[in-house]
Amino acid sequence: MQKSFDVGQKLFFDVLIICLVSFIYFKIVPMNKITLFIGILICVFYFGVNFYTGYKYNLTTTEALFVGIMGCGLGIFLSFFAVYTNFILQTPVRAIWITIPYLAPTTPIIELFIKDISILYVFQLMFINILLVIFGSFSRKIMNKLAP
């Protein structure tokens, strides 16, 4: 349990740093093709960190689930406020605005494919990140079995 807590804490701070850097980057730099290309690299790095964390540490499925949930801590924290703002205060635009720091690494996906984002996108992103950690740990186990 201590191992999964330490790995989850490391993943949380890695994701936090990536989210803050990409949030500042996309707020300062105007959106054009070069910015979008760099944003795609940030997005791939963001998802890659989640996958690599599951791959690097030899985690069981339960540990990988726990680490993935801890890695999504920023999204969980911001989603509480967003859900309150969306359903109690009835202001869905502010709910999305609250979660923008967590959504910042996926700005190219939002710009290219999603025209109207809702609060569900935050939960979908958290689900994807948790699955990436689990798939990373599964791929590590598969690679260990294939190695002679």
The sign of the dihedral angle between the CA atoms of 129, 85, 91, 87 is positive
pLDDT-derived band at 146, boundaries 50, 70, 90: confident
CA distance 31 to 77: 28
pLDDT tens-digit profile of 92-140? 899 999 999 999 999 888 888 887 888 999 999 999 999 999 999 999 9
Indicate the pTM of the whole model: 0.91
Whether the Cβ atoms of residue 128 and residue 54 lie closer than 8 Å to each other: no
Give the tokens for residue 15.
Answer: 């994701």
What is the Cα gyration radius of the chain? 16
Q: Report whether 79 contacts 123 (CB < 8 A).
A: yes
pLDDT in tens, 71-99: 999 999 999 999 999 999 999 899 999 99
C-alpha span between 34 and 21 (Å, rounded): 17
